[in-house]
A and B are shown apart, each in its own frame.
Chain A
Amino acid sequence: MRCLAETFSNVVCTVCGCCCDNIEVTVEGRKVVKVKNGCAISMSKFMNYGEERIPTPLIRRKGELAEASYEEALREAASILKKAKYPLLYGWSLTSCEAIEVGVELTEAVGGVMDNTTTTCHGPTVLGEHDIGVSTCTLGEVRHRADLVVYWGCNPLHAHPNHMKRYTVLSKGRFRASRKDRKLVVVDVRRTDTAKVADFFLQVSTNEDYELLSALRVAVRGDEIEQDSVAGVPAEKIEELAEIMINCEFGILFFGLGLTMTPGKSRNIDLALSLVRDLNSKTKFLIMPMRGHFNVTGVNHVSAWETGYPYAVDLSRGYPRYNPGDTTAIDILLRGECDAALVAASDPVASFPAKACRHLAEIPLITIDPHYSATTLVSDVVFPSALTGIETCGTVYRMDGVVLESKKIVEPLGGVRSDVEILKDMLKLIRG
């Protein structure tokens, strides 16, 4: 029998940090049959959310993952975490703030380290913000006021496909009605699809963003660039960009992993933040990282309000310690220090360097995820969970810190619990 179709409007997309909240999803029973307003990745996520789902909890027996009851898996997970001297609890960006809050409690109860996916995306951005401070705004302000948009080291047409349409050059704002009211500048190593639609493009030499940012600061301050070119860019082009930036009314610099992952890392961010600070002596200028992983901004907020620190929080001594480079997930794994791990709402084995993954596979590993992933393949205990924003609701943060309520639009698979329920049950068992 065919179910009646039901359409949900203003659904929050669960893919990237844009958290577009204008998605219209039509469902028939548990099946998504139509998605409107979503980007190509969003459409793919909603339409395929039922693919490769984990039907029941799994426990590794004789080297293979085998079906287990929820209670059995819970006992095994609690036993692993209780025995561990220095467990790592990692992930958290594809779930709700409510689940993250329980995650902090759980980490405290087992005396572990809680790190999130910030560590391999905008961790250096957080470090730069500690050093310099940040002048930022909401995406709504950008939409209504920005006449200059700079994308540096990011390719939103591929990674945040609706960003330009909803918030920047292709959006219709109160004071900037159309594309001709805004200038688009792109700085990148590659001439990307985003660069192809820019009004002004600078192709920076690989690994030389730091040098280009330094030269741009020189030009913005009105000093002379003594070299003919810096980072593969002629000095006159750098001066031209400085003029464009100084002469705008409301400028915004969005930056991506092209700055955080290249040599210099947090020092690149120091310079980008300092450039924007310099520009504010001449005009209005703001800066924002292009956060990529759904509720990753929410994890930073929850972690900061619960422990005082946004990521890489070591609770093993009974109080929070924060020392990125030491208490960050990759470093702990490379040093082989953690003796157990819990991964929630993330797939580190698909994104971490192999050497870090090897240690993850060598220690008892618990994973909470709706889908099979590279991480579930090497886990010892796997809990299937309900998909946040599709099968269960919860609070999430957009990349600019605006809080949104993600919706439940279908019932979860039979017997599958939410991250909040699983984490609370685990915590209860551990506390006895």
Chain B
Amino acid sequence: MKTVWEGYSMGGIKVKLLTGRSLDQGKSKERGKLSEDYVKCVAVCEFNKEDLEAFKISPGQNVRVSTDFGSVVVRAAASTQQLPKATVFMPYGPWTGIVVNPETHGTGMPSLKGLEAEVSAAPSEKILSLKELVKQFAGR
């Protein structure tokens, strides 16, 4: 299997990627998935405070998250839940769908937690809306 570095090497920072539910994700999906609020709450990558300083990334800045399976631009945020060192968290949603491992290992369940990933600052790149994102990866 190719490594993340061969697939999407951009000189990014090597991290472990976790995905999961967050209260903001839960509330915003009920307010409407086409809303700006949903993008704001879900197209997010959370870092712990120490990593933000070490990686020289500011909350609110756009970052690119890449894995062997895809690459997506989201907004950096300070984590509300304390993360281990060099570990980032993305709330469930279509933006995480781009970077998670679809392989089910014979269980039916894809691999959505503890993935090898890299992040890099992406100040000039845009976060896609749900419609734009779906158009990009599904062609509709």
Using CB atoms and an 8 Å cutoff, list the residues of chain A in contact with chain B. 15, 40-41, 44-45, 48, 51-52, 63, 119-120, 123-124, 127, 155, 157-159, 161, 189-193, 203, 205-207, 257-258, 260-263, 265-266, 292, 311-312, 324-325, 328-331, 334, 347, 349-358, 360-362, 371-374, 377-378
A260 to chain B, nearest CB (A): 6
Q: Please indicate the chain A residues that have their CB under 8 angstroms from the CB of B102 in the complex.
A: 330, 334, 352-356
Is the beta-carbon distance between B30 and A155 smaller than 8 angstroms? no
B63 to chain A, nearest CB (A): 19
- Contact among A127, A205, A361 with B140 in the assembled complex (CB-CB below 8 Å): A361
Q: Please indicate the chain A residues that have their CB under 8 angstroms from the CB of B138 in the complex.
A: 349, 354, 357-358, 360-361, 377-378
Is the beta-carbon distance between B107 and A353 smaller than 8 angstroms? no
Q: A328 to B34: give the CA distance in the assembly, Å.
A: 28
Q: Please indicate the chain B residues that have their CB under 8 angstroms from the CB of A292 in the complex.
A: 21
Q: A292 to B69: give the CA distance in the assembly, Å.
A: 26
Q: Given A119-B108, A353-B110, answer yes or no on A372-B34 (Cβ-Cβ < 8 Å).
A: yes
A402 to chain B, nearest CB (A): 22
Residues 94 to 112 of chain B near chain A (Cβ within 8 Å): 94, 97-98, 100-102, 104-112
Q: A352 to B81: give the CA distance in the assembly, Å.
A: 24
Chain A residue with the shortest CB-CB distance to B89: A190
Q: Given A51-B32, A159-B26, A206-B18, answer yes or no on A120-B110 (Cβ-Cβ < 8 Å).
A: yes
Is the beta-carbon distance between A330 and B18 smaller than 8 angstroms? no
Is the beta-carbon distance between A40 and B140 smaller than 8 angstroms? no
Q: Given A158-B23, A262-B114, answer yes or no on A190-B84 (Cβ-Cβ < 8 Å).
A: yes
Q: Please indicate the chain B residues that have their CB under 8 angstroms from the CB of A206 in the complex.
A: 16, 18, 84, 87, 113-114
Contact with A along B37-49 (1 / 0, CB 8 A): 0000000000000
Q: A209 to B108: give the CA distance in the assembly, Å.
A: 20
With most chain B CB atoms within 10 A of its CB, the pick from A41, A161, A356, A378 is A41
Q: A192 to B48: give the CA distance in the assembly, Å.
A: 12
A100 to chain B, nearest CB (A): 19
- Contact among A40, A192, A330, A377 with B130 in the assembled complex (CB-CB below 8 Å): A377
Is the beta-carbon distance between A191 and B81 smaller than 8 angstroms? yes
Is the beta-carbon distance between A40 and B27 smaller than 8 angstroms? yes
Is the beta-carbon distance between B106 and A325 smaller than 8 angstroms? yes
Is the beta-carbon distance between A190 and B137 smaller than 8 angstroms? no
Q: Please indicate the chain A residues that have their CB under 8 angstroms from the CB of B18 in the complex.
A: 189-190, 206
Is the beta-carbon distance between B33 and A372 smaller than 8 angstroms? yes
Is the beta-carbon distance between B109 and A260 smaller than 8 angstroms? yes
Q: A356 to B81: give the CA distance in the assembly, Å.
A: 30
Residues 52 to 99 of chain B near chain A (Cβ within 8 Å): 69-70, 79-84, 87, 89, 92-94, 97-98
Q: A258 to B21: give the CA distance in the assembly, Å.
A: 11
With most chain B CB atoms within 10 A of its CB, the pick from A40, A123, A261, A329 is A261
